[in-house]
């Protein structure tokens, strides 16, 4: 299909990011009669999913992983793989006939001035798009976050973020330290241990809340217990872990002291769903060690004073939303770079600037995509009923992009 010039685009809403949250927002806006154009920096939809490690599977069952208006195919199984979910997102674009412009990075968003009637200006490399509303959906897992450990630059081994880890094959026979005991870190450590790594350690600062993989149903429990007191929910979750997960204290991993609900509120983390990590620790194939303090040439210094010499360090240390260049001048971010409002809520000085995909609820991130999308579509329609905007203008030069959401052939 030939490229469509950006100057030929006229849409009252621009959605930035063709991941689950952006596609869900565009679909529900379209369903409510509001055309939206999705701008995606990479050459395909769901790029952040496609770039994750090969053995990734969703932690939520298909019913809790679908986006509005299309079910996940039954043949994808109870735990949807990375590739199957990317295919689902591609099918979602075709099913809802969404207008997705790939290879179209957005450089910044700024307020429109003058009497054009547009609310926002969206700057891309070869054009400026004037539009009535913007949905920012680039996601909270946008920019890998590797701590600036003292001496990091002196490390003579290999240091990489988990975003750049693909499979266990290159680490057979190697000594590997995984830093971070979230879902990615524990899963990577367990897979490495079972695929021939010579030694696997996992550096842990705070003991994680661990639940059996079958407890993906915990998302449903989270929805049912939201109105109950936090202390009761925490106590119940800790009791559940005692019955469902063996005590790993003698293997170097004590039980957590904080309940998973409190940790989700304070730190934005979810419990670890066990993909073989517990058995790997109990069998000695994965060794928990203290948190990383610094690097010193070939050595890694740990918080308990120990020094180890891994060949490779994989930092499963999370991500940053990376929104400063995009919207940092608009006063819509907090000190940590997170949006001050999400979903349908907007700030008084930033009407019709919405953010979707920047929370990590216990009830499920992909389920939240549909909730945010519905709220944004309803909010925009209410705003339009109160104060409709003139048709937006799009200017400057055309860009060489594809209008569909599929990789170039």
pLDDT tens, residue by residue, 17-45: 999 999 999 999 999 999 999 999 999 99
Identify the CATH assignment for 147-318 out of 1.10.630.10, 3.50.50.60, 3.60.20.10, 3.40.50.300: 3.50.50.60
137 contacts 21 by C-beta, under 8 angstroms: yes
pLDDT at 333 over 70: yes
pLDDT at 119 over 60: yes
Instruction: Specify the pLDDT at position 61.
Output: 86
Instruction: Specify the pLDDT at position 404.
Output: 35
User: In DSSP terms, which residues pair with 314 in a beta bridge?
Assistant: 160, 178
Q: Where are the domains of the chain?
A: 6-142+321-395, 147-318
Instruction: Specify the pLDDT at position 10.
Output: 60
For range 232-242, the mean pLDDT: 86
Instruction: Specify the pLDDT at position 223.
Output: 60
Q: Rounded CA gap, 157 and 150, in Å?
A: 15
Instruction: Specify the pLDDT at position 161.
Output: 98
Higher pLDDT, 184 or 385: 184
DSSP state of 138: -
pLDDT at 80 over 80: yes
DSSP state of 341: -
For range 136-159, the mean pLDDT: 96
pLDDT at 395 over 60: no
Q: Rounded CA gap, 68 and 166, in Å?
A: 30
Confidence of residue 100 (pLDDT cuts 50, 70, 90): very high
160 contacts 314 by C-beta, under 8 angstroms: yes
Helices 230-244 and 260-267, interaxial angle, to 10°? Answer: 120
Residues contacting 348, CB < 8 A, separation 6+: none
Choice among 85-94, 274-283, 310-319, 394-403 with the minimum mean pLDDT: 394-403
Q: Quick one: CATH architecture of 6-142+321-395?
A: 3-Layer(bba) Sandwich (3.50)
Choice among 28-42, 336-350, 387-401 with the minimum mean pLDDT: 387-401
> pTM for the full model?
0.88
Among residues 310, 37, 303, 56, which one has the least CA distance to residue 160?
310
Higher pLDDT, 231 or 164: 164
Higher pLDDT, 232 or 293: 293
Task: Supply the mean pLDDT for the chain.
Answer: 89
Choice among 148-162, 201-215, 346-360 with the minimum mean pLDDT: 201-215
Tally of CA atoms within 13 A in the half-sphere of 375 that contains its CB: 18
Choice among 26-30, 49-53, 227-231, 363-367 with the minimum mean pLDDT: 227-231
Instruction: Give whole-number Cα distances, 209 to 255, 314, 324, in Å.
Output: 8, 21, 32
DSSP state of 147: -
Buried b (16+ CB within 10 A) or exposed e, 281-293: beeebbbbbbebb
Confidence of residue 302 (pLDDT cuts 50, 70, 90): very high
For range 231-241, the mean pLDDT: 86
Confidence of residue 401 (pLDDT cuts 50, 70, 90): very low
pLDDT at 394 over 80: no
Question: For 174-196, how does the pLDDT look when each residue is reduced to its tens digit (9 = 90+)?
Answer: 999 999 999 999 999 999 999 99
pLDDT at 154 over 70: yes
For range 37-56, the mean pLDDT: 95
Residues of the chain with pLDDT > 90, as a percent, come to 72
């Amino acid at each position: 299909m030939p490229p469509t010039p950006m100057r030929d685009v006229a849409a009252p809403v621009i959605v930035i990011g063709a991941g689950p949250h952006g596609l869900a927002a565009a679909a529900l806006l379209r369903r409510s009669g509001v055309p939206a154009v999705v701008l995606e920096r990479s050459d395909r939809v769901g790029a952040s999913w496609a770039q994750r490690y090969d053995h990734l599977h969703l932690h939520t069952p298909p019913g809790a992983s679908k986006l509005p208006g299309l079910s996940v195919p039954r043949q994808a199984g109870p735990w949807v793989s990375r590739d199957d979910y990317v295919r689902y997102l591609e099918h979602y674009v075709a099913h809802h006939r969404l207008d997705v412009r790939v290879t179209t990075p957005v450089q910044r968003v700024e307020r429109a001035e003058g009497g054009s009637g547009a609310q926002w200006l969206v700057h891309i490399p070869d054009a400026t798009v004037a539009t009535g509303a913007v949905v920012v959906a680039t996601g909270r897992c946008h920019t890998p976050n590797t701590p600036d450990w003292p001496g990091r630059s002196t490390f003579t081994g290999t240091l990489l973020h988990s975003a750049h880890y693909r499979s266990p094959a290159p680490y057979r026979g190697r000594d590997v330290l995984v830093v971070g005991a979230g879902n990615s870190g524990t899963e990577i450590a367990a897979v490495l241990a079972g695929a021939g790594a010579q030694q696997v350690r996992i550096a842990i600062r705070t003991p994680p809340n661990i639940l059996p993989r079958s407890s993906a149903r915990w998302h449903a429990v989270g929805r049912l217990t939201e109105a109950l007191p936090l202390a009761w929910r925490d106590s119940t979750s800790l009791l559940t872990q005692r019955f469902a997960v063996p005590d790993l204290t003698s293997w170097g991993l004590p039980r957590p002291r904080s309940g998973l609900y409190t940790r989700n509120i304070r730190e934005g983390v979810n419990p670890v769903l066990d993909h073989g990590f517990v058995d790997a620790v109990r069998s000695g194939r994965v060794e928990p060690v203290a948190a990383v303090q610094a690097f010193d040439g070939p050595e890694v210094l740990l918080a308990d004073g120990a020094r180890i010499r891994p060949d490779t360090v994989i930092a499963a240390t999370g991500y940053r939303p990376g929104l400063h260049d995009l919207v940092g001048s608009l006063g819509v971010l907090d000190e940590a770079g997170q949006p001050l409002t999400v979903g349908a809520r907007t700030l008084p000085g930033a009407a019709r600037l919405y953010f979707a995909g920047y929370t990590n609820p216990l009830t499920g991130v992909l389920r939240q995509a549909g909730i945010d999308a519905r709220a944004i579509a309803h909010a925009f329609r209410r705003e339009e009923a109160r104060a409709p905007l003139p048709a937006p203008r799009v200017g400057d030069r055309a860009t060489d992009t594809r209008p569909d959401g599929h990789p170039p052939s």
